[in-house]
Structure 1
Amino acid sequence: MRRIVIAGGGYAGLHAFAEIRKRLGPLIRSGEVELTLIAKDPYHTYHGWTGEVLSGRLSVGNTLTVLPTLLRGQYVEGEIGRIDAERQVVEITTPDGIHRRLPYDHVLVATGSRDPFSRLPGLAEHGWCLKNTRDMQRFVDHLRTFAGKRVAVVGGGMAGAETASALRERFRRLGRDVTVELITSGDLLFRQLHPRFSRLAAAGTRILERQGIVIRRGARVASIGQHGPVLENGDLVLADMTVVAAGVEFSPIAGLERLQATPGGRYIADPFLRACGQDNIWLAGDIAEVARPFGGGLCPVDALWAMKQGELAGANIARAVLGRGIRRFSFRGLGQAAGLANGSGISELYGMTFRGGLAWFIRVCYFAWYMPRRTDGAAVLRDLFADRLAEAIGGLGAMLRPAAQGRKSLEAAAERGRAP
């Protein structure tokens, strides 16, 4: 029997799992190949809907896919403690404290990234992060009772802009005038879009400004205090709640010290998504530093690139098991998008740019397509469009009520004029 272990239940791990099961299905069913995915949580979180959850248009449940059901039993819940590359064993600790050892012939390291707790003092004590699902759930619960007047969002990229916009929208829908301040260390927002799509970035910035979001530029945050972010120059940005949506960090795995890695803790992959110098250790997702195909630096740390890396890593593992040649990573990218304000946004797809409601629609359909299950994507589309329809009908009703009241006043006046 040949054993394949996937370490990580994020985008890269799930897409690798699906690709392996598709290509090696008969061998898995016959027992010749054993495929196991390890994840620390019993569900996968789809971060593409963070803005919709924060604005109150979707529930946290819309972002979750239950792994035991999706993976049909080929799943182990546990925290990875060590990957012994010499003995080819993954050591984990299950939620009930049991230590297990899973042998492998091929292992995919797709453990992702985490929020930057170690390099931003005070974040764990005084700030909120949204990358971890449990942190997101706690934050949404906190929003239900939050009574403050000022919110600071740290991060001038897509994630920071979406978070600030969603929170401002949430409070507006609740009839509350809460100041939302977006803090960025640069002079421009949406740095991922510059310089090629600078006009699109400017359009996104104008949407945020029209929404009433305060933008503080050139302000690098040094720490998070009890009363808000503290900048490098010593200034305090007063806030009743601080949300950090900027930057990630990586956790090296014990036992993989011999792998080539960056100073920040990412493992360096070769063009086939193997760990450099290894034949049976594969890398994908945020934890992997992968050169962008055809030049242009490194692959971005985001969901779509993790999915595509997971697909190729899974396909190459299957090819290796079958004794076939493996292939290079050749994904060039599809585009970028941010959902902003009330059904608005900006998006870039294959170099074409969109803004406003059309950009929002493209982004929603695009994200729904890439959810782990088609039924999950369909459910999100149903809930989002039902929400928009209800809001549109409500707005139409609000427009018609004054007109109806006006007609009634005229009719009453006419009746009075006819009275003897």
Structure 2
Amino acid sequence: MHEIVVLGAGYAGLSATMGLAGRLRSRSDVRITVVNAGERFTERLRLHQVAAGQQVADLRIPDLLAPTGVELVPGWVTGLDADACAVRIDDERELPYDTLVYALGAVADTGSVAGAAEHAYAVDDADLFARRLAGARSVVVCGGGLTGVEAAAEIAESHPAVDVTLVGRTGPGTNLGPRAKAHLDRALARLGVSVRSGADVTAIGPEGVTVDGHELIRADAVLWTSGVRVSPLAAEAGLDVDDRGRIVTDPALRSVSHPQVYAIGDAAAIRQPYGTVHGTCQSGMPTGAYAAWAIARALGGKPGKPFRFGYLHVPISLGRRDAVVQFTHPDDSPKRLALTGRAARWYKETVSSAPWPTFGRTVAAPSVTMLGWRRGGRYTR
């Protein structure tokens, strides 16, 4: 029996799991196991809505896996023995593997600023932040990236009586084209979000956020969306990692030091001609789909092709009634084309809703996933 173990059931991990289940369903000599901390699927594309106190769908991983024969092992991964090919779980079990798909992803890095872990809520804890938001009169969102923008807009729209300040080293939407950025700036102004660009968050305390070492921005609640970190598990196991702890991969997404390990999603340092792929759902799902294809090819004794990926768009929610979508070149630089307003809102909602049903369809049609995946490791552009 060839044992395939998938660590993590996020966007990348479930893409790999469902792709493997579809491609290998006729193989009685292969067993697939997926390990995840819980049974609920976290829609990271909607965490800004959760932070604002909105209810989102309760998506259950066992329901998705039920028709596939894949075993779900709930638990935290506490150790990886890359030489013995075994994974340890927090209940002291050990899972042996012949092929490992490492998709543990990344979490918010609250350790980089003094007081962030104690006095701020990470976006991963959006439900806890939503409870703290009740009764708050002022909120600071730390991080001017896309997650920070979406969270600030959502909170301001859902809680118009709350003063919302968005703080970041760079201004919001700096990676957008002029038209898209202008629309984003107008939307934040319309929602009453105060923007502090070029501000370095140096400490977070019970009274608020300190920027540039001296200025205090008072806040009843602080949401941290600035920066992520990966688990130290891969480095501790002796896999080759980059300076951020991500597993360094070859063109087939295998660890360069342990080729029986495939690394996908945020946990992988995947090189493309334009640079290293940065972690998003947009890139994570294709890495999972490719890994499933490559593993199935290898088990069938067939050669593979290198993974290729190009970015398509940057969709940004600006509350429930507005959005902006910047279309991009494969290297993530902006094209001239952008959507705003009602059309962009429809587009963004369609993208946000697509992954879960796509996972189910992948079992029936494993060669196709969202946004144009095609066999042979090529991503349409």
Tell me the TM-score normalized by structure 1. 0.79
Q: For residues 373 and 19 of structure 1, do their structure 2 counterparts lie closer, same or farther at Cα, with a shift above 3 Å needed?
A: closer
The answer to whether the 8 Å contact 1:85/1:255 transfers is no
Corresponding position of 2:60: 66
Q: Deviations over 1:222-274 (max 9, x none)?
A: 12111111123321111111111121011121675432212221111111101
Pick one of 155, 167, 177 that aligns with 1:183: 167
Taking the aligned partners of 1:274 and 1:342, their CA distance within structure 2 comes to 40
Change in Cα spacing, 1:358 to 1:76, as seen in structure 2 (3 Å) is same
Alignment partner of 1:153: what SS? strand
* Alpha-carbon distance change, 255 to 232 in structure 1, aligned in 2, over 3 angstroms: closer
The residue type paired with residue 48 of structure 2 is: G
* Match status 1:52 vs 2:49: yes
**Structure 2: 5+ residue runs without aligned partners?**
329-334, 362-381
Is the 8 Å Cα contact of residues 54 and 170 (structure 1) preserved in structure 2?
A: no
Query: Residues 90-105 of structure 1 correspond to what in structure 2 (within 5 A)?
Result: 90-93=87-90, 98-105=91-98
Q: Post-superposition shift, 1:119?
A: 1.4
Q: Which structure carries more helix by proportion?
A: 1
What pairs with 1:389-408 in structure 2 (closer than 5 Å)? none
Query: Paired residue for 2:282?
Result: 304
- The answer to whether residue 86 in structure 2 is matched with residue 89 in structure 1 is yes
Q: 8 Å contact 2:179–2:338 — kept in the other structure?
A: no
What amino acid sits opposite 1:68 in the alignment?
A: P
Structure 2 residue 165 is matched with structure 1 residue 142: no
| Letter aligned with residue 284 of structure 2 | A
Partner residue in 2 for 1:158 = 146
Cα distance per residue 1:273-298 (max 9 Å; x no partner): 01114321110010101113xx2211
Cα distance in 2 for residues equivalent to 1:3 and 1:116: 33
The residue aligned with 1:402 is: none
Give 1:334's aligned residue. 312
Q: Distance in 2 between matches of 1:273 and 1:87?
A: 21
Structure of greater Rg = 1
Q: What are the superposed Cα offsets for residues 68-87 of structure 1, whole Å, 9 maximum, x if unpaired?
A: 22122511011111111111
**165, 170, 176: which one pairs with 2:158?**
170
Question: Post-superposition shift, 1:373?
Answer: 5.6
User: Is the contact made by 1:12 and 1:284 (CA closer than 8 Å) also made in structure 2?
Assistant: yes
Q: Classify 1:203/1:140 alpha carbon distance in 2 versus 1 (closer, same or farther; 3 Å).
A: same
Following the alignment from structure 2 to structure 1, what is the Cα–Cα distance between the partners of residues 266 and 150? 20
CA distance in 1, matches of 2:74, 2:359: 24
Q: Could you tell me how far apart the structure 2 residues matched to 1:308 and 1:43 are?
A: 22
Once the two structures are superposed, the pairs formed by residues 18-417 of structure 1 within 5 Å of their partners are 18-27=18-27, 30=28, 32-56=29-53, 58-60=54-56, 62=57, 64-72=58-66, 74-93=71-90, 98-131=91-124, 135-143=125-133, 146-172=134-160, 177-186=161-170, 188-193=171-176, 197-253=177-233, 257-292=237-272, 295-349=273-327, 351=335, 352-372=337-357
1:8 matched to 2:8: yes
Aligned partners of 2:304, 2:204: CA distance in 1, in Å? 46
What percent identity do the matched residue pairs reach?
A: 29
Write the letter of the residue equivalent to 1:272: A
Residue type of the alignment partner of 2:353? A
Q: Structure 1 residue 372: deviation in Å?
A: 4.9
Q: Deviations over 1:104-127 (max 9, x none)?
A: 110011110011122122122111
Computed over aligned residues only, the root mean square deviation of the Cα atoms, in angstroms, reads: 1.9
- Could you tell me whether the CA contact under 8 Å between 2:11 and 2:355 is conserved in 1? no
SS at match of 2:222: strand
| Corresponding residue number in structure 1 for 2:370 | none
Q: How many corresponding residue pairs? A: 351
Provide structure 1 residue ranges, at least 5 long, that are not aligned to the other structure: 377-420
Offset of residue 306 of structure 1: 0.8
Q: Which amino acid aligns with 1:344?
A: D
- TM-superposed CA distance for 1:199, in Å, is 3.0
User: Is residue 5–residue 101 contact of structure 2 (8 Å, CA) maintained in 1?
Assistant: yes
Amino acid at match of 1:289: A
CA–CA separation in structure 2 for the residues paired with 1:374 and 1:329: 20
Structure number with higher relative contact order (C-alpha < 8 Å, ≥ 6 residues apart): 2
Name the SS of the counterpart of 1:230 in structure 2.
strand
Given that residues 81 and 87 in structure 2 are in contact (C-alpha distance below 8 angstroms), is that contact kept between their aligned partners in structure 1? yes
Q: 1:18 to 1:235 in 2, by over 3 A?
A: same
SS at match of 1:91: strand
The CA distance in 2 between the partners of 1:242 and 1:115, in whole Å, is 14
